[in-house]
């Protein structure tokens, strides 16, 4: 494309607009062109190309790094807040392929998890730890604790391509219908960073959840979610709000689900 050098619109802006048009058309689905290729194709300076690419990076469209080139960022899963939700279902409905790498599925004892579930410290718990993958990208590290008295049948489930709450209902006759969930920014530890393949500087959401069936706690969950692959959206109208601001230390918000 020949950019209009007589236009009052800066060259970097013309280039940016054209790249966005080409992106929407799916022209760069296989690979994004290098700076050198764009400089040659558009007949502009490298500074002009870099300014356009900087704007695309700021918008979260591309990912750039010294020595690594330029890549399109995978689209993020969008999750509406204030509802019972399933990451598995949300991802599938938006056209993503969701699967899990199961790191642990076993009986354990844990005093903190037991306390969260209203149980004694010596009670047996079913522990499930998964790395949730979206289109092959690691997005979530999930750690779930459930009373063994209700969840032991889950030890025979294959969680690579199914949802926890679906298996709870089918295998255990338990269907969570209430609870709370807290989402807040956290610094990932070394293990979480490795499991999510995180580069330095990428933040994560910390998620903690207690799900109940009626008044009975059935799952306590904690984990982290990549903020560049997952977006929480709140919607509201004149008579209803799905998400409420919660200062640090305030009472937890109502929500659940897998």
Q: At what angle do helices 35-42 and 11-24 cross, to 10 degrees?
A: 110
Report the C-alpha dihedral over residues 238, 241, 242, 246, rounded to 10 degrees: 160
Asked whether residue 257 carries a pLDDT value surpassing 50, the answer given is no
- The reported pTM is 0.62
Q: Is residue 3 part of a domain?
A: no
CB 183 within 8 A of CB 204: no
Residue 238 has pLDDT above 60, yes or no: no
Q: Residue 25's pLDDT is what?
A: 77
Average pLDDT over residues 208-227: 92
Q: How large a percentage of the chain has pLDDT more than 70? A: 75
32 versus 156: the higher-pLDDT residue is: 156
Residue 123 covered by a domain: yes
- What is the rounded average pLDDT of the residues 105-110? 97
Tokens 């236009």, located at residue: 7
Query: In this predicted model, what pLDDT tens digit does every residue of 169-204 receive, in sequence order?
Result: 999 999 998 888 888 888 899 999 999 988 777 789
pLDDT of 241 strictly over 70:
no
- Binned at pLDDT 50, 70 and 90, residue 134 comes out as confident
Shared domain for 87 and 131, answered yes or no, is yes
Biggest CA-to-CA distance, the chain: 77
Same domain, 173 and 219: yes
Instruction: State residue 156's pLDDT score.
Output: 95
Helix (H) or strand (E) holding 15: helix 11-24
Residue 51 domain-assigned (yes or no): yes
pLDDT, tens digit (0-9, with 9 covering 90-100), for 61-92: 777 655 556 766 655 444 445 444 556 556 65
Is the predicted pLDDT of residue 26 greater than 50, yes or no? yes
Could you tell me the CATH number of the domain that includes residue 38? Answer: 1.10.10.10
Given this model, what pLDDT does residue 76 score?
Answer: 47
The whole-chain average pLDDT of the chain stands at: 81
pLDDT at 61: 72
CB 163 within 8 A of CB 88: yes
In a shared domain, residues 91 and 57: no
How many independent structural domains does the chain possess?
A: 2
| 29-60 confidence digits (pLDDT tens) | 777 888 889 999 999 999 999 998 888 877 66
Instruction: Output the pLDDT for position 217.
Output: 95
Same domain, 59 and 168: no
Question: Are 114 and 17 contained in the same domain?
Answer: no
Domain containing 92 equals 77-241
Query: Are residue 229 and residue 149 in the same domain, yes or no?
Result: yes
Confidence of residue 243 (pLDDT cuts 50, 70, 90): very low
Q: What is the pLDDT of residue 229?
A: 75
Residue 105: give its domain's CATH number.
3.40.1410.10
Angle CA 217–154–79, to nearest 5? 65
Domain boundary among 54, 72, 90: 72
Domain membership of residue 115 (yes or no) is yes
* pLDDT at 220 exceeding the cut of 80: yes
Distance of CA 218 to the CA centre of its chain: 23
What are the angstrom distances between the C-alpha of 166 and each of 59, 97, 161, 258?
36, 17, 11, 8
């Amino acid at each position: 494309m020949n950019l209009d050098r007589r236009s009052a619109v800066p060259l970097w802006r013309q280039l940016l607009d054209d790249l966005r048009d080409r992106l929407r058309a799916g022209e760069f689905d296989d690979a994004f062109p290098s700076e050198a290729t764009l400089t040659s194709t558009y007949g502009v300076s490298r500074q002009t190309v870099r300014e356009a690419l900087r704007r695309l990076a700021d918008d979260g469209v591309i990912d750039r790094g010294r020595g690594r080139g330029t890549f399109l960022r995978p689209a993020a899963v969008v999750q509406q807040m204030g509802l019972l939700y399933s990451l598995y279902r949300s991802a599938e409905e938006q056209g993503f392929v969701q699967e899990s790498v199961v790191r642990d599925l076993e009986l354990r004892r844990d005093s903190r998890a037991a306390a969260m579930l209203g149980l004694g410290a010596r009670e047996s718990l079913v522990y499930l730890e998964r790395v949730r993958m979206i289109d092959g990208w690691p997005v979530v590290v999930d750690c779930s604790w459930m009373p063994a008295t209700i969840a032991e049948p889950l030890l025979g489930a294959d969680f690579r391509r199914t949802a926890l709450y679906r298996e709870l209902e089918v295998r255990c006759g338990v269907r969570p219908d209430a609870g709370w969930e807290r989402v807040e920014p956290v610094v990932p530890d070394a293990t979480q960073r490795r499991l999510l393949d995180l580069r330095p500087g990428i933040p994560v959401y910390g998620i903690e959840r207690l799900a109940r069936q009626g008044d009975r706690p059935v799952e306590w969950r904690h984990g982290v979610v990549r903020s560049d692959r997952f977006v929480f959206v709140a919607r509201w109208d004149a008579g209803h709000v799905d998400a409420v601001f919660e200062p640090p230390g305030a009472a937890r918000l109502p929500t659940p689900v897998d």
